[in-house]
Chains A and B, each alone.
Chain A
Amino acid sequence: QQPVQSPQAVILREGEDAVINCSSSKALYSVHWYRQKHGEAPVFLMILLKGGEQKGHEKISASFNEKKQQSSLYLTASQLSYSGTYFCGTEPNRDDKIIFGKGTRLHILP
């Protein structure tokens, strides 16, 4: 079951914050977040495993609510380099294949 990402697209000014959500109808073991710029490879951001943990990397962090089968990606004080399409990938059980959402397009204006 493909996870649902929201919003589909968002436009921000540099310095503003953004939240991207990823929801699944199935119980999840892990959530993977990637960013892809046009014509380039998806770049790994972080993996969250079940347990409600939150991870952070500089100004990008994420949470995983196992009970709600949801994950959110938080982009703080966005930079121009954050522009791209963000994909969440969900894994129902350990060692299942990752199922990616349709992506959220983020565009940062100067």
Chain B
Amino acid sequence: GAGVSQSPRYKVAKRGQDVALRCDPISGHVSLFWYQQALGQGPEFLTYFQNEAQLDKSGLPSDRFFAERPEGSVSTLKIQRTERGDSAVYLCASSEVSGGKTDTQYFGPGTRLTVL
């Protein structure tokens, strides 16, 4: 079946604008993760959902970052009042089992956000 998809693939925003990044996980996957990947670095955890419940948001860098998954499938990561330091690739991953984070995570291609 289809893998994890993300949209848009590329987003350019002016500093101060709000952006919304979408993630469509693999159908039936219970767990969903958001990561931020800076250039030349590994993915850095932002937040984790199990179905519609956001169980861990400890990685969100500030209250400008907000994520939701209202129906337990599609998720949106919203960044308000973007800053140049928010420029990065935002990766979404999903996993099948509800056993927490110790399961195979399948990543989407990411959204490359550039804040000018």
- Which residues of A are in contact with B by a Cβ distance under 8 Å? 2, 29-30, 32, 34, 39-44, 47, 49, 87, 89, 91, 94-103
Contacts and interface: CB of A to CB of B under 8 A. Distances in A.
Given A91-B101, A91-B102, 7 more contacts: A32-B105, A40-B109, A42-B91, A44-B104, A97-B48, A97-B101, A103-B42
A32 B103 CA distance: 9
Given A41-B4, A41-B108, A42-B107, A100 B42 contact: yes
Contacts of B104: 44, 47
B89 to A, nearest CB: 9
A103 B40 CA distance: 8
A41 B102 contact: no
B53 to A, nearest CB: 14
Given A40-B109, A41-B107, A41-B109, A87 B101 contact: no
Interface in B56-110: 56, 58-59, 91, 100-110
B43 interface: yes
A95 B101 CA distance: 5
